Structure 1
């Protein structure tokens, strides 16, 4: 499995977070509050020393220690916190303990507009400030407004980075290979383009693109085989879970399983030759967010299943089988607007409740 730093020593430190926090049980599980007081918490990252990083969309990065105490980390890039944009994902790569490099996705200023970008930075032991901050990717310019940034990052088994990029509300751009809008991009950790990307060397095509035809993908994760999966927001209905293939077109806005918010039909229907079908879709929409494939030991019956947070109906969806289908809804008082969900080194399922402004840890009751 490809989750970073799942070491015994780190797991022991995470267990220390259990004590003295609010709990609530449902259907054989219990949610324990680890930290609170966030504005719009967006992403979770696990450090090898047992601490946790949490991003807040308004431009704050927090370190949570083994006692649950919060320390703000400074030195972030200039973030445009507007609408759905701001400080988004944090990715702690497998070689962090050696390099001290981490990656942050965010909405960066682009003239009068803004666009999804990535910086690489160093966080040294016990430091409260990022150093060596360098932007390694920025989507093509030309978008305005405050929606559909995407922003979820995943480290591939080969060490390259995937980033989801929304179409920024510009629907036709998701089919325009000259632009990054509505795509999953793949880059090397230094920002260069891998030689085996599907469009490397093709004139007039953005070479970072790995797949395209996406609307607003806000969840991404690897399964146990290293396969990349993405979930994305539809319009009125048609939220999707997609198995991502190299160079594939996922259809937006030509095909979709939902309708426009006005009730009008989207594109040409639900299928077209040369365009991929979703593995699973929701109608009505659940507004899917973070995603994880569970590979821990605390819930052996869930091993290999996918978990997706819902921002609309305030639950965690469990998906299982081949093809993936929703088989369970885990809903607790704390699951109000689940923004991110991760499998922790301790085998627990960790999630951020945007509505509660808090970080929780899900364990067996």
Structure 2
């Protein structure tokens, strides 16, 4: 049996505009911790090594040579050469050519993913929130990484896709990216921007999982397009989708923040309605009830849900050899729960596994080339931690 540690519910923050602001997704400025990571305590199944420190990091992606691109919420992307020895030091180089983003509230520079053919193309896909006519929204870009005597930069940056419509407020952008197994498409998440109803609006991309070609053209499911949905929509009825990943069998997994309770892990099936805001295993922040998922209600229920919440950040499917007992499982960064969460996966079924305390808000989790698990702490001074088998 795996041990599960319950997390503590956090107080609800209210944004200045009056809409509920997820405390789990707020940027908290803190001094960089100097002590050894609490997760290295006796009894946990991994050793923790701090490797580098960033300013409110949001996402990371490994390059084929073992280096890493990291985005910071304030709008900066850096290329990190990671320390490999006990007395070595990680080095970071700013990456130029990044479009301006709006970092108010939950906004900023967000996901970054190297293209599957990066060795040949040097292409990098990334997302961020911007202000524009009618409000704010999340965009998807692509650029080619160039390194020379002038430094590192993205050249030929092109906007591939923009959420619609732009609306007021600074929350629930989402903006996660995952490549489809066919090598011809990618998935892109658009949050419902704390506006509730757009998640069910067929014309909006908000509150949806989108499928696009690698050039950003809509390639959603024909089933929904025939019903009048935006042509990019793959699934709908989502809230704040902060993690998406494809497993070795081609299954698409997604996690999202619920309201007051009801955080979810979903198996995404083309054309399905996942219910928000009509159903949820949580409640509104003001205490009003939301009907729970139940059989026969016409909505796709989550495979796993949490109440109290874990406040899920990034999502990763583990496929490495370092921890063979976890192969195929999901790993989630816990924000308000300050934890690393493992979900047991068996085919298309899932159940709660472990929840390990990390002592800091965890924004992102990735697998390294050697099978180690890497996590990014949230906020100012957020550390990059490498999790490995204990000696």
Q: TM-score, normalising length from structure 2?
A: 0.83
- Return closer, same or farther for 1:230/1:201 CA change in 2, 3 Å cut-off: closer
Distance, in Å, in 1 between the alignment partners of 2:214 and 2:344 is: 32
Number of matched pairs: 340
Offset, 1:143: 1.1
Distance, in Å, in 2 between the alignment partners of 1:183 and 1:289 is: 17
> Which of 173, 185, 191 matches 1:149?
173
Offset, 1:122: 0.5
Offset, 1:303: 1.1
Identify the residue that residue 6 of structure 1 maps to in structure 2. Answer: none
Distance, in Å, in 1 between the alignment partners of 2:218 and 2:320 is: 33
Higher relative contact order (CA 8 A, sep 6+): 2
Identify the residue that residue 291 of structure 1 maps to in structure 2. Answer: 315
Identify the residue that residue 339 of structure 1 maps to in structure 2. Answer: 363
- The answer to whether residue 58 in structure 2 is matched with residue 25 in structure 1 is no
CA contact (8 A) 1:199 1:206 kept: no
Identify the residue that residue 10 of structure 2 maps to in structure 1. Answer: none
Identify the residue that residue 34 of structure 1 maps to in structure 2. Answer: 51
Task: Give the secondary-structure state (helix, strand or coil) at the position aligned to 2:388.
Answer: strand
Structure 1 regions of 5+ residues with no counterpart? Answer: 1-20
> Which of 328, 334, 344 matches 2:354?
328
- The answer to whether residue 338 in structure 2 is matched with residue 314 in structure 1 is yes
- More strand as a share of residues: 2
Offset, 1:110: 2.4
Identify the residue that residue 4 of structure 1 maps to in structure 2. Answer: none
Equivalent runs, 1:110-125 vs 2, <5 Å: 110-125=132-147
CA contact (8 A) 1:220 1:228 kept: yes
Task: Give the secondary-structure state (helix, strand or coil) at the position aligned to 1:33.
Answer: strand
Identify the residue that residue 231 of structure 1 maps to in structure 2. Answer: 255
Distance, in Å, in 2 between the alignment partners of 1:157 and 1:204 is: 27
CA deviation map 1:74-118 (0-9, x unaligned): 110121111101100001121011111110111122214111110
> Which of 199, 203, 218 matches 1:178?
203
Task: Give the secondary-structure state (helix, strand or coil) at the position aligned to 2:40.
Answer: strand
Offset, 1:49: 1.7
Equivalent runs, 1:128-147 vs 2, <5 Å: 128-147=152-171
> Which of 101, 114, 139 matches 2:123?
101
CA deviation map 1:150-205 (0-9, x unaligned): 111101111211011100011011000100010000101111123x6335753742
> Which of 301, 304, 308 matches 1:277?
301
CA contact (8 A) 1:199 1:209 kept: no
Equivalent runs, 1:224-263 vs 2, <5 Å: 224-263=248-287
CA deviation map 1:331-360 (0-9, x unaligned): 234xx1110101111100011011451111
CA contact (8 A) 2:113 2:177 kept: yes
